């Protein structure tokens, strides 16, 4: 299993969940120390590999996937969790902020998923691609994540397009849509009032935990989800219903 954004939060939880069920994990993050700690903390650590990589290096993505295939002995699932979020008032967003979100949250994801999909097709036998979006792709945002939700809307459309393209090869492509999850990203540049408003908007009345999202990732990577593709799966405690 290839997991991006594995140094912390949902990515780290997904890596742990995969390792717990016996999968080998190729953990990727631009935070080298953080991803090394994740890999070292997985069940049976010798089975896993940590790789420091900035996904904006588009030209190297094919080699990265090749390295993962060699390390794991084959490919099955990509859980692309990595992302960036700058919360800013609408009127303060600069072109460089917009470009950062589109480059990391959408552009890098497109070329990563394409490289992984091409490798799965060449390998044969199907596989899974799991991307990450935001409830803002439907609801919009009033909390300063304007460029982020624009990119994340693109992720859903991109994933559906990949689902059609790679479906004939037995490859499913889905998107996980996490709600208010208790991670560092949830609290970065957020006041306690904003976090509390997110909790109040959730019918379950609490923040979700990274492990609750990771369990859905493992499900989508499993044979239990073999007929689910092109879906955007809400893991929001009911904060997003559609």
Question: Any idea which residues carry the catalytic annotation?
Answer: 148
Which helix H or strand E contains 171, and what residues bound it? strand 171-178
**Cα–Cα distance between 118 and 186 in angstroms, integer?**
33
| Structural contact between residues 83 and 105, judged by C-beta atoms closer than 8 angstroms | yes
Residues 6+ apart with CB under 8 A from 176: 130, 131, 132, 133, 213, 216, 217, 220, 233, 235
Q: By C-alpha distance, which of 17, 5, 72, 8 is closest to 42? A: 17
How many CB atoms are closer than 10 A to CB 106?
A: 18
To the nearest 10°, report the CA torsion of 154, 156, 157, 163: 140
């Amino acid at each position: 299993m290839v997991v991006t954004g594995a140094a912390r939060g949902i990515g780290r939880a997904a890596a742990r969940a995969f390792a717990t069920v016996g999968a080998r994990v190729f953990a990727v993050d631009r935070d080298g120390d953080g991803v090394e700690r994740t890999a070292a903390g997985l069940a049976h650590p010798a089975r896993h590999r940590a790789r420091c990589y900035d996904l904006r290096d588009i030209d190297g993505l094919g080699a990265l996937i090749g390295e993962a295939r060699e390390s794991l002995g084959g490919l099955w699932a990509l859980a692309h969790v990595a992302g960036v979020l700058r919360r800013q008032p609408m009127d303060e967003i600069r072109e460089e902020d917009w470009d950062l979100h589109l480059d990391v949250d959408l552009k890098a994801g497109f070329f990563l998923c394409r490289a992984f999909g091409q490798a799965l097709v060449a390998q044969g036998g199907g596989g899974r691609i799991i991307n990450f979006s935001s409830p803002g792709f439907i609801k919009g945002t009033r909390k300063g994540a304007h460029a982020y939700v624009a990119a994340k809307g693109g992720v859903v459309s991109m994933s559906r397009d990949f689902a059609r393209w790679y479906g004939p090869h037995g490859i499913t492509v889905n998107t996980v849509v996490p709600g208010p999850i208790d991670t560092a990203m949830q609290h970065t540049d957020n006041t306690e009032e904003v976090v509390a408003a997110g909790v109040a908007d959730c019918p379950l009345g609490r923040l979700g935990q990274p492990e609750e999202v990771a369990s859905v990732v493992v499900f989508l990577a499993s044979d239990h989800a073999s007929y689910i593709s092109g879906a955007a799966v809400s893991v929001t405690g009911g904060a997003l219903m559609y």
